[in-house]
């Protein structure tokens, strides 16, 4: 899948050496909205509700499954709480478990970027609001599991993004400062979490920012692909870190 090209905007210099990189999952590493839309379609049909266009469902992605289901219900003029929500959520989870990863694909430049960062000795991790029951099978089905030494899912910590807990949890596991982690995401949820935690954040323009352009986000730079992110990190290493070379 071809990501959109990012505009040539200034990149803020990294204030500390980057020791690790945390990635959002849906919309940053993987194009997963077709699986989510198919699960929503099946769940809605099971409950006797009309389907929702897949492009619109993609705009509902970003704050976890509960919010996605609530947005589907609100769009259809249905109650987004109580038995209607609970029944649709249960149906969605069941169908998504079967469909998870079936249509998901890595965005252009993802594996090149991951390979380059791993070769440089950077620690890599995933930070997603998706539940662990879906995160780990998805990474495995898309041949990504081996890249990440830390995977933080939406039910790993008490609070999800945009709270800083998940980033702080990863930092504790790695034994590194939060300021030495670069977060790469695709939405305001990601940038808010990074800002709350105190780490730099880059965004990609091709993901799921709830239908809004990423140019207005509070980030330190926009990268068109993860391959470009790796190349930009290589330049930052030349300025910030004499003891290690980005290979």
Asked if 208 and 27 touch (Cβ cutoff 8 Å), the reply is: yes
The torsion region of residue 64 among left (phi > 0), alpha (psi -120 to 50) and beta comes to left
Asked if 198 and 178 touch (Cβ cutoff 8 Å), the reply is: yes
- Residues with a known catalytic role: 24
- Could you give the C-alpha distances from 4 to 83, 204, 213, 220, in angstroms and in order? 40, 9, 11, 19
Bond from prior residue into 162 cis (ω within 30 degrees of 0): yes
The pair phi, psi for residue 123, each rounded to 5°, is -80, 135
> Collapsing DSSP states into helix, strand and coil, what is residue 70?
helix
R_g (Cα) of the chain, nearest Å: 18
């Amino acid at each position: 899948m071809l990501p959109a090209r990012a505009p040539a905007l200034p990149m803020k210099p990294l204030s500390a050496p980057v020791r690790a990189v945390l990635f959002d999952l849906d919309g940053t590493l993987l194009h997963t909205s077709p699986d989510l839309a198919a699960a929503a379609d099946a769940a809605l049909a099971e409950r006797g509700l009309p389907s929702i266009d897949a492009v619109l469902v993609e705009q509902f992605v970003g704050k976890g499954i509960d919010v996605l289901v609530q947005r589907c219900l609100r769009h259809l003029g249905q109650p987004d709480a109580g038995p209607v929500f609970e029944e649709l959520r249960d149906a969605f989870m069941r169908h998504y478990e079967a469909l998870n990863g079936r249509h998901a694909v890595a965005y252009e430049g993802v594996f090149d970027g991951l390979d380059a960062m791993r070769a440089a000795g950077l620690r890599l991790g995933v930070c997603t609001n998706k539940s662990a029951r879906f995160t780990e099978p998805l990474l495995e089905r898309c041949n990504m599991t081996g890249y990440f030494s830390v995977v933080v899912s939406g039910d790993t910590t008490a609070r999800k993004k945009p709270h800083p807990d998940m980033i702080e949890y990863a930092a504790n596991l790695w034994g590194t400062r939060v300021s030495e982690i670069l977060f790469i995401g695709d939405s305001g949820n990601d940038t808010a979490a990074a800002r709350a935690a105190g780490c730099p954040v880059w965004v990609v323009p091709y993901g799921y920012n709830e239908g809004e352009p990423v140019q207005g986000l509070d980030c330190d730079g926009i990268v068109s692909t993860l391959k470009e992110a790796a190349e930009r990190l290589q330049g930052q290493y030349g300025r910030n870190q004499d003891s290690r070379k980005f290979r």
